[in-house]
Amino acid sequence: MAAAWEFHLPLSPADLLRNGGPGRYVVQEVLPARELPPALTAFRTAFRARGALAVLQHFDPLYSLLHHFQAVGTDVKEDALELMMRVVSHHSNELPAILGDSGLSHADRTAHLNALKMNCYLLTGLVDAFEMETCKSGLLENKKNRTKTSGSLWEEEREPLLRLLTQLLQLDLHKLWGGSMVEEEFVSLMTGSCYRILENSSIGLQKYRATREAVTHLLAAALVHYDHMFSATLKITQMLQHFEHVAPVFAQAVSLWATEYGLKSLVGELLREIGQKCLQDLTRDASGIKGYATFITELAEQIPALVLSNMSVLLRHLDGESYMMRNAVLVAMAEVLVQVLNGDQLEEAARGTRDQFLNMLQAHVCDINGFVRSRVLQLFTRIVQCKALPLTQFQSVVSLAVGRLRDKSVVVAKNAIQLLAAFLSNNPFSSKLSCTDLAEPLKKEVQKLQEMRDRDRSTAVAPVITPEEEWEAMLPEVRAATQQLFQPQQEGEEEVLEVEETVESTSEQITRLLRKLNYKSAARLTQKALCRFQGKEPFSGPMEENEEAAILGVLKRLYTGSCPGENSEDAPHGNSSLKTKEVVLEEQSQTELVKQEMLVQYLQDAYNFSVKITEALSLISKMMYENCVSVVQEAIEFFVTVSQFGVPQALVGVRRMLPLIWSREPGIKEAVLNAYRRLYLSPSGDSERARAQGLVRSLSLIMVDASLGTIQCLEEIISEFVQKDEIKPAVIQLLWERFTEKSQCSSLERRAAVMLLGMMARGKPEIIGSNLDVLVTVGLSEKVCEDYRLAQEVCNAISKLAGNPKPALGNNNTPFRLPQNHMLFGCLSKTVSKGFDQPSGHWIPFMEAAVMLIYQLAEGAEEICAHILQVCSQQALEKLREADGQKADPGVSPSRVSGGASSLPTFLLTHLVSLVGQVALQQVAHLEVSVSAELRRRRILREEEKTKKRSDSSMRQKRLQSTGNETTMEEELGLVGATADDTEAELIRNICEKELLDGKHLFSAFVPLVLKICNNPGLYSDSVLSAAAALSLGKLCMISSDFCDSHLRLLFTMMEKSTLPGVRSNLIIAAGDLAIRFPNLVEPWTSHLYARLRDPCPSVRQTAGLVMTHLILKDMVKVKGQVSEMAALLIDPEEAIMGVAQNFFSELSNKGNAIYNLLPDIISRLSDPNCGIEEESFHIIMRHLFSYITKDKQTESLVEKLCQRFRTARLFPCISAKKSVCSTEKLGSPLQSCLLIQTCPCSVCMGCSVLTLCLGFCFLIQGLVSLHTWSFALFCLQDVYALLVVPVTEYIVQDPSCESGISFCFLGFGAIFVASFPLLPKL
SS3 assignment, position 377: helix
Cβ atoms of residues 1098 and 1058 within 8 Å? no
Q: At 1036, which amino acid appears?
A: L
Q: Which amino acid is at 707?
A: S
**What pLDDT sits at residue 1260?**
66
Query: CA of 702: how far to CAs of 630, 653, 710, 731, in Å?
Result: 26, 11, 9, 16
> Which residues are CB-contacts of 235 (< 8 A; sequence separation ≥ 6)?
191, 195
Task: Find all residues with CB under 8 Å of 1234, minimum gap 6, and list them.
Answer: 1246, 1249, 1250, 1253, 1283, 1284, 1287, 1288
Q: Are 897 and 912 in contact (CB under 8 A)?
A: yes
The CB density around residue 323, as the number of other CB atoms within 10 Å, is 18
DSSP helix/strand/coil, 6: strand
Residue 471's identity, in one-letter code, is: W
CB neighbour list of residue 1091: distance below 8 Å, 6 or more residues apart: 1056, 1125
CA quadruple 281, 283, 285, 291: dihedral positive or negative? positive
CA dihedral for 967, 969, 974, 978, sign (positive or negative): positive
Within the chain, what is the greatest distance between any pair of CA atoms?
A: 173
Q: Which pLDDT value is given to residue 708?
A: 84
- At residue 147, the pLDDT reads 41
> In this structure, are residues 609 and 424 in contact, taking their beta carbons and an 8 Å threshold?
no
The reported pLDDT for the residue numbered 515 is: 80
Phi first, then psi, for residue 24 (nearest 5°) are -110, 140
1269 SS3 class = coil
Q: What is the mean pLDDT of each run of 10 residues along the chain (1323 residues)?
A: 69 80 81 86 87 85 85 84 88 84 79 87 87 70 43 74 88 80 86 87 82 89 88 89 88 91 89 83 74 90 90 88 90 92 85 91 91 93 90 87 88 91 79 67 78 70 66 82 73 58 79 81 81 73 66 81 45 49 67 80 80 83 83 88 77 84 89 89 80 86 81 90 89 90 85 91 88 88 82 90 64 79 90 88 91 90 90 87 60 53 80 92 88 83 79 56 46 52 78 77 85 88 90 91 91 91 92 91 89 91 92 84 86 89 87 83 80 82 84 78 64 33 30 36 54 64 62 66 65 56 61 62 55
E-state strands within 763-902? none
Instruction: Report CA 881 to chain centroid distance, whole Å.
Output: 68
Count of alpha carbons within 13 angstroms of residue 305, beta-carbon side: 5
pLDDT for 964 equals 46
3-state secondary structure 145-202: HHHHHHHHHHHHHHHHHHHHHHHHHCCCHHHHHCCCCCCHHHHHHHHHHHHHHHCCHH
432: Cα within 13 Å, side-chain hemisphere: 8
Please tell me the distance from the alpha carbon of residue 64 to that of residue 1046, in angstroms, as a whole number: 108
Q: How far apart are CA 1141 and CA 586, in angstroms?
A: 67
Which three-class secondary structure state does DSSP give residue 656?
helix
Q: Decide if 39 contacts 58 (C-beta within 8 A).
A: yes
Is residue 1215 exposed (0-12), middle (13-18) or buried (19+ Cβ within 10 Å)? exposed
State residue 1034's pLDDT score.
Answer: 92
Which residues is 24 bridged to in the sheet?
A: 6
| 3-state SS, residue 566 | helix
Report the candidate in 632, 637, 620, 714 with the shortest Cα–Cα distance to residue 668. Answer: 632
803: alpha, beta or left? (left if phi > 0; alpha if psi -120 to 50): left
The one-letter amino acid code at 14 reads: A
Among residues 45, 67, 43, the alpha carbon closest in space to that of 57 is found at: 43
Nearest to 862 by CA among 956, 909, 925: 925
CA distances to 875, 876, 964 from 881, rounded to whole Å, are 10, 9, 76
Q: If residue 587 lies in a helix (H) or strand (E), which one and from where to where?
A: helix 570-623
Backbone angles phi, psi at 6, to 5 degrees: -135, 135
Burial class (CB in 10 A: 0-12, 13-18, 19+), 129: buried
